[in-house]
Amino acid sequence: MGYYIAVEEKVRIFVEDIDPGQGKPVLFIHGWPLNHKMFEYQFNHFLQMGYRCIAIDLRGFGKSDRSWNGYSYNRLADDIRIVIDTLGLENITLIGFSVGGAISIRYMARHGGHQVSKLALLGAAAPAFTKRAGFPYGLTKAEVNKLIEGTYKDRPKMLVNFGDMLFARYVSDECKAWIHGLGMEAFGHATAMLAISLRDEDLRQDLPTIQVPTIILHGKQEKICPFPLGEAMKAGIQGSKLIPMKYSGHGLFYCEQEKLNAELFQFIGSSI
C-alpha cells in the first residue's frame, strides 16, 4: 500500500507500507540518490517472514514531493518522526542505507530514538562522509563538489559514473540500468542539496547518544564510504556490532543480499 503523509505545508512524503500479517515494523531509509525501491530484495525476504515493511522516499526523491528546501539532516530526521507518529509505529527496527544511515543516526540523536528498539546501519555515510580535521576518512569535499557540479551540468552522466563506484562484484547491465533509473527519478535540485548535506554534516557527536542495539554492516571493498567509517561508527556507538561484508562495495544491499538479509533477520528476531 502506498500513500502520502504531509510533513509540512506543501510537502508530502511517499510511504510504501506492506503488512502481510500484523508483523513487527521494519522501517527502511534509502540512500543517495535513490529511493525506497532500492530495498526490493530486502522487501522480498522480510515480507515472506511476516514482517511489516515500511519504506519512505525522502523529500525530493522517488514519489515524494519535490521540495526546494529542507535537505539538512535535521529536517529529514523530523520528516521521519512525523511519518512514525502519523502511522502510530512502535517497537521499530530502523534500517538506513548510506545517507539514509546518516539520517537515521541524526534521528536517534535528535528525537531520542523515539519508538525505535533496534538500529541497522548499512554502508552508512557516517560519522562523516568527507575528510575533515580529526577524521581522515571518506571522500574529499572536492570530490563531492564534482558530484554536485555534475548534477547540474549532466546528471545522467554523473549517475552513470557514481553507479560504476557502487558495486565491487560483477552486476548485469540491466541491474546498473535499474539503479540509474532510480537515480533519475529524483528531483535534480534535491540530488544536489542532499549531496551538500553529505559533504558538510558531521555526526561524531550523535553516535554516543544511541542507546539501542545496533548493527553496522559495511563493505570491505567500499569506494564511496570506506570501511574505516564502519569502524568509526562501532567505536562511537556503545555496544554496537560491526559485520564486515567481505565481497561488497557500497551496494551491499544487492552484492551480498543473502548474507545481508540473513544478518538482518537474525538481528531483528534476537532478544538483544
CATH assignment at residue 38: 3.40.50.1820
Residues contacting residue 127 through CB under 8 Å, at least 6 positions apart? 105, 135, 202, 203, 204, 206, 207, 229, 232, 233, 236
Going by pLDDT thresholds of 50, 70 and 90, the confidence category of residue 115 is very high
For the chain, the domain total comes to 1
C-alpha span between 134 and 12 (Å, rounded)? 38
Angle at 15 between CA 214 and CA 42, to 5 degrees: 50
Cell 580529526 found at: 134
Hey, what's the cell of 115? 519508538
Residue 210 pLDDT > 90, yes or no? Answer: yes
Please answer whether residues 206 and 127 qualify as being in contact, where contact means their C-beta atoms are separated by less than 8 angstroms: yes
Going by pLDDT thresholds of 50, 70 and 90, the confidence category of residue 267 is very high
Of all residues in the chain, what percent carry a pLDDT higher than 90? 92
Please answer whether residues 72 and 6 qualify as being in contact, where contact means their C-beta atoms are separated by less than 8 angstroms: no
Going by pLDDT thresholds of 50, 70 and 90, the confidence category of residue 272 is very low
Q: What is the pLDDT of residues 150-194, one digit of tens each?
A: 999 999 999 999 999 999 878 899 999 999 999 999 999 999 999
C-alpha span between 178 and 270 (Å, rounded)? 33
Q: What is the pTM of this model?
A: 0.96
Predicted local distance difference test score (pLDDT) of residue 20? 66
Average pLDDT of span 46-54: 92
Q: Pick the range with the lowest mean pLDDT from 97-111, 182-196, 248-262.
A: 248-262
Please answer whether residues 70 and 11 qualify as being in contact, where contact means their C-beta atoms are separated by less than 8 angstroms: yes
C-alpha span between 87 and 31 (Å, rounded)? 22
Q: By residue range, what is the domain housing residue 236?
A: 2-269
Residue 34 pLDDT > 90, yes or no? Answer: yes
Average pLDDT of span 236-248: 97
Predicted local distance difference test score (pLDDT) of residue 14? 98
Average pLDDT of span 132-136: 96
Q: What is the pLDDT of residues 72-93, one digit of tens each?
A: 999 999 999 999 999 999 999 9
C-alpha span between 199 and 204 (Å, rounded)? 14
CA 165 → CA 176, 195, 251, distances in Å?
11, 16, 9
Average pLDDT of span 46-53: 91
Predicted local distance difference test score (pLDDT) of residue 270? 62
